[in-house]
Chains A and B, each alone.
Chain A
């Protein structure tokens, strides 16, 4: 139980809570929208870190769980009139189920083969959903405006989804830390370091990897429902955007994979930078700076990978021994 006294855990939790609650106290809708984007990114990165940072399996298909969960939730709301919390759980459960089914098969692949397979899975599901009639085929699902009435109208529904994303990101941090400091987490990290040696020491690797994949998939499944409920509609191209997966990877790399704080800081930093670039009025020659958002993000990523591969938190921990007791 003493792991719950670790300052690194509380630091991470406080950052997420402070970010999350600022818009609640100011009742500022603009801040709330920024907050939603940042908390969504944090939860995506923290959940991806379970399979990537702890277990060492780099998934390019994290967005498939977000998209499929989102679709399932929207379907439950639109067709069955399910209340939002139930739809959110339904989305999470469906993604967890997909991860369970897939896990046994594709987690046998190692290294880049696994990474490639995850891209394939995302594309297969995306193209399938675009043909799947109950999910609206290529045009997706659009919610009736009346759906929001039971939540006190559109404005209140937006606040409701925001509370939802706060709850999920707080849960994500606690859950991620729990895994990291648990026996199960020790098994995952032994797989990351040397899978064959882990097997010899008794880690039942196929089961451990699959469970890590399932845990990693449950959160984005719930997040997808919140996002698309708030959005009002869901389409294949938005739900299964490979770029979103890769952004989550970048956020983890920025902050430091395998750490608790890293994905949080990485997501926050990445989204802040993106926000700044998108709203900047500066010009490069005759073109606005915001046109170069992607270029700058790419350059930043390249510099991190080439020069600080451990990410910010990893680098700080390597550089300053005393920080190892404060940052996890």
Chain B
């Protein structure tokens, strides 16, 4: 094992971690704004994968152009899911929203399996490799990380610089007070769920450019999103990016020191420990 290998693992881990981060960001945004743990998140990531795959291999559309379309569709789909499945139970005990989102998950996975089977798909798209000194990086991963950072920057600007973004943060802070001040919380909640779903779809679309996948693959990334969410602080969308980086580094570096199969054990134990000790996340300040 030489320094170049370690460095490559590390940077590779960082690049993928950033993409995981955007998936977790969607989960975190939804939790933060409406206290819903979205168990359909993985299925929506899968849909993002298939969206880019179908547009690319079916219509020959460039994957990154496809991603824009997929993001828009994701937004619409999220709003639709909110209106159909969440709105009615948003104030019910949390089990209701957990199970409502899981029902959506079953429906998507069921339809997806019927339509696409569970044979692995590969998008078959490459941007070649990029050589940076001792580093060799896959082009698609590099672009994916850049896209993620751009999306994060846009999300940040949206949340902190626009009126609607401020509404979202207000509803997230205290929905009752926000409603008293005349903020249309029903619409804000639907939009937030839409944005969360959009982020899941983008993450799925990006992952599809460098990993093979099935309709069930999203589940794995949903679990990673949970871990990242807890690392970065549940409800903190931007913390998710940092959480993603931490997970990416762990996944890049840990396999150099132990068998690959032990990595998820460490991750889940870490997840439980952080939940117990500091549920606001490693970066979170207050509870």
Contacts and interface: CB of A to CB of B under 8 A. Distances in A.
A and B touch in the complex (CB under 8 A): yes
Interface of A: 58, 60, 105-106, 108-109, 111-113, 115-117, 119-121, 123-124, 127-128, 130-131, 138, 246, 249-250, 253, 287, 291-299, 301-302, 305-306, 309
B114 A287 contact: yes
17 contacts: A112-B35, A112-B37, A116-B226, A116-B230, A124-B269, A131-B259, A131-B265, A295-B114, A297-B106, A298-B104, A299-B107, A302-B85, A302-B103, A305-B99, A306-B85, A306-B88, A309-B89
Interface in B73-105: 85, 88-89, 92, 94-96, 98-100, 102-105
Contacts of A112: 35, 37, 94, 98
A298 B272 contact: no
Nearest to B219: A242
Given A127-B265, A309-B92, A115 B272 contact: no
B110 interface: yes
B56 interface: no
A115 B47 CA distance: 25
Interface of B: 35, 37, 85, 88-89, 92, 94-96, 98-100, 102-107, 109-111, 113-114, 223, 226, 230, 259, 261-262, 264-265, 268-269, 271-272, 275-276, 279
Contacts of A293: 110
Nearest to B107: A298
Given A124-B269, A128-B265, A253-B99, A302 B107 contact: yes
A259 to B, nearest CB: 15
A117 B276 contact: yes
A204 B36 CA distance: 30
Interface of chain A, helix or strand or loop or mixed? Answer: helix
Contacts of B94: 58, 111-112, 115
A127 B261 contact: yes
A301 B113 CA distance: 19
Contacts of B113: 291, 294
Given A128-B265, A294-B110, A298-B110, A120 B272 contact: yes
A291 B94 CA distance: 30
Contacts of B276: 105-106, 108-109, 117
Nearest to A108: B276
A295 B107 contact: yes
A298 B106 contact: yes
B100 A298 contact: no
Contacts of B272: 106, 117, 120-121, 124
Contacts of A130: 261
Nearest to B259: A131
Contacts of B261: 127, 130-131, 138
B268 A292 contact: no
A305 B105 contact: no
Contacts of B114: 287, 291-292, 295
Contact of B268 (A113, A115, A123, A299): A123
Given A117-B272, A117-B275, A117-B276, A123 B107 contact: no
Contacts of A294: 106-107, 109-110, 113
Nearest to B117: A291
Contacts of B103: 298-299, 301-302, 305
B37 A124 contact: no
Contacts of B37: 112, 115-116
A117 to B, nearest CB: 5
Most B CB contacts (10 A, CB to CB) among A109, A120, A250 go to: A120
A168 B11 CA distance: 53
Most B CB contacts (10 A, CB to CB) among A116, A121, A299 go to: A116
Contacts of B109: 294
B218 to A, nearest CB: 13
Contacts of A250: 99
Contacts of A120: 226, 268, 271-272, 275
Contacts of A105: 276
B275 A109 contact: yes
Nearest to A242: B219
A301 to B, nearest CB: 4
B229 to A, nearest CB: 9
A293 B111 CA distance: 10
Contacts of B269: 124
Contacts of A295: 106-107, 110-111, 114
Contacts of B264: 123, 127
A246 B102 contact: yes
- 7 smallest CB-CB distances across A and B, nearest first, come from A298-B106, A294-B110, A295-B110, A124-B268, A298-B107, A302-B103, A301-B103
Contacts of A302: 85, 100, 103-104, 107
A130 B263 CA distance: 12
